[in-house]
Chain A
Amino acid sequence: MLPKPKKIKKIYLDHAATTPVDERVFSAMKPYFMKEFGNPSALYNLGRTAQTAVTEARKKIAGLLHALPENIIFTGSGSESDNLAILGVVKAHQHKGKHIVSLGIEHHAVLRPLEDLAKNGFAVTYVPVGKDGLVDVEAVVKAIRPETILVTIMYANNEMGAIQPIAEIGREILKYRKAHNTIYPFWHSDACQASEYLDLDVEKLHVDLMTLNGSKMYGPKGVGMLYLRRGVSIKPLILGGGQEKSRRAGTENVPAIVGLAKALELAQKDKAKESARLRELTAYFWKKIQEKIPDVRLNGPAIGESRLPNNLNVTFMNIEGEAMLLYLDEYGIMCSTGSACTSESLEPSHVLRAMGMPFEMAHGSLRFTFGHSNTRADIDYILKYLPAVVAQLREMSPMQSQKH
């Protein structure tokens, strides 16, 4: 039977789902809940203080992205930013064409709006990704048609950590526009998973629109932003007051905006060091898993430049993810799975399926996403129990695995 730990250690390995708020971020946000609670639109001093906080946050973010403050639109989430990017471009430019290029491995915040558009006269090309989850730049360019108004491709994937060649795709889109003497297609990237580890310089990435949010980078939940290049027009989704230059109505969420700016500043400052540290941790974990457990597969790109340094997605053959998850939870280990059994739709991960993975392998996948709090000691703790959990579930499984 399974070993019992003397003391249960709580180990959070689901940072791609969300991160805790950093102490420094929380401190920066605090004054704007109760003391400086004014509405930034108000003219009296209290409102002006709030306005200043929002302006400063906007400037700070613009600086980090190599953009101008007016290019930053604050929203309520990463999902809202994705929706605003796609539907906002569509509303403003659909008379010029009804074709969009994207990937099948995108987040649902991109896929659902695209599915909706496809029901309303739009054509969407989902460029296939390889078995490693990476897209070929040339294949993206080939998918562009004269009527393509938007290309939307995520910077880094939340499930298996594939980092797409965003800058190269951006360069090719610029070339295409020049060669065809057109302003289309516009170029959007969902960079929510990238903010902790990757370069977000919009001039280097050549993006016209880029989505970020707070909850994946030790910032608050319920806040996101969309970078919008000057000269690219979009129509708002939320109508009301004139906030965000009439591109997104609603009283500004001042503490969350302040928190978002602080979180992005910290993330970008530490990204090289933290990336190196986490890559070493994930490489160590993967090496140990292979040593201790037979019949395992790494899903997504090899550990290295094309993979988020904090992501490890592994299929344990012949067993099912939710069952593993529940056993691991008993040991205080928190991670996630691509199995159908944990999804509302009872469908296995669309990301793993889009990579050509058979259903049963997607069912047996576990995703570990590391973060600030994790150390090598956490991995050693997990390795005390994970092999036993896998062995027990395999003994119960009708499919034959190598025995231990």
Chain B
Amino acid sequence: MKTQKNKKIKSADVRGQKGESWLYSDVVKEHFFNPRNFMHYDEEKKFKFNATGRVGSPACGDEMVLWLKIDPKTEKIKDCRWRTFGCGSAIASTSVMSEMVKEKGGMKLDDALKITPNDIMKRLGGLPDRKIHCSVLGDKALQAAINDYFRQTKQHKRIITAGAKVIDKDLNITDHDIEEAVLEGAHTIEDVQKRLKVGVAKPEAKEAIEELIRFYWEKYFS
């Protein structure tokens, strides 16, 4: 994953003169050592959710899974759980993001989609420059989970496809979706559809999807 430079954010990569202060801000430290809302082993079967998103891969150093419990009437995020493979800042970013979407009775989906890496970082009290990419995964996971919710509830038009190439306009399937599916082992168009929980794709999109599957398969597995 590439580092995003953002000079406006004050870097917290400063150790105190006495060598006692932390590489990260106190908020990062607090969330890292006492992470909120992660999926404990004993909750796996009990936690009720209606949307989930997985982004990243261990090979690029970060992977995150997010489970959301969304109230269909108010479209508010009532609860969430997460699991993250990554460094201290990736874990702290996820934890703080999970707190942001849950607090004050739950964030509305439209507002949650507006959360940027910057918002997460501000709340963390900054991240060292070369750690900024770690906070990007949090909002990506959130977007993936909310997209999953839209897909499950047949609101295909609401699926956010910013920054990605839309392959199937009706179902709003993007090249990113296909990449993620392939990373999870999808090998055919049926595998991809099964993973995205969508029906038959448009005939004209089918060829493009198959081509992308081949592309990502070769990229990652050959």
Residues in A lying within 8 Å of B, measured CB to CB:
1-2, 318-323, 326-327, 330, 339-342, 344, 346, 348, 358-360, 363, 395-399, 403
Contact = CB atoms under 8 A, between A and B. Distances in A.
Contacts of B59: 358-360
B84 A326 contact: no
A398 B65 CA distance: 6
Nearest to B60: A359
B107 interface: no
A152 to B, nearest CB: 31
A399 B38 contact: no
A360 B57 CA distance: 9
A363 B1 CA distance: 14
Nearest to A397: B85
Given A2-B33, A342-B87, A346-B61, 13 more contacts: A319-B85, A321-B87, A323-B91, A341-B89, A341-B134, A346-B3, A346-B130, A346-B133, A363-B61, A395-B38, A395-B41, A399-B58, A399-B85
Given A330-B33, A399-B58, A323 B86 contact: yes
A359 B220 CA distance: 12
A291 B124 CA distance: 38
A341 B87 contact: yes
Interface residues of B, number: 31
Contact of A397 (B1, B32, B84): B84
A359 B61 contact: yes
Contacts of B23: 326
24 contacts: A318-B58, A320-B61, A320-B86, A320-B87, A320-B90, A323-B88, A326-B88, A327-B33, A330-B33, A341-B88, A348-B61, A358-B59, A360-B85, A363-B61, A395-B38, A396-B83, A397-B83, A397-B84, A398-B54, A398-B63, A398-B64, A398-B83, A399-B63, A399-B85
A10 to B, nearest CB: 12
Contact of A396 (B38, B58, B61, B134): B38
Contacts of A327: 33
B80 to A, nearest CB: 14
Contacts of A398: 54, 63-65, 83-85
Interface of B: 1, 3, 23, 32-35, 38, 40-41, 54, 58-61, 63-65, 83-91, 130-131, 133-134
A396 B60 contact: no
Contacts of B64: 398
A363 B57 CA distance: 12
A341 B86 contact: yes
A403 B35 contact: no
Given A320-B87, A322-B87, A341 B61 contact: yes
A330 B20 CA distance: 11
Contacts of A346: 1, 3, 61, 130, 133
A389 to B, nearest CB: 11
Residue of B3, B33, B58, B90 with most chain A CB atoms under a 10 A cut-off: B58
A339 B61 contact: yes
B139 to A, nearest CB: 17
A395 B91 contact: no
Contacts of A399: 58, 63, 85
B130 A339 contact: no
A318 B61 contact: no
Contacts of A340: 61
Contacts of B32: 323, 326
A270 B207 CA distance: 70
Most buried by A among B23, B33, B87: B87
Contacts of A360: 58-59, 85
A330 B59 CA distance: 27
A260 B9 CA distance: 44
A397 B86 CA distance: 8
B85 to A, nearest CB: 5
A396 B35 contact: yes
A396 B41 CA distance: 9
Contacts of A341: 61, 86-90, 131, 134
5 nearest A-B pairs in the assembled complex, by CB-CB distance: A360-B58, A341-B87, A322-B87, A398-B83, A398-B65
A114 B33 CA distance: 42
Given A322-B87, A360-B59, A395 B3 contact: no
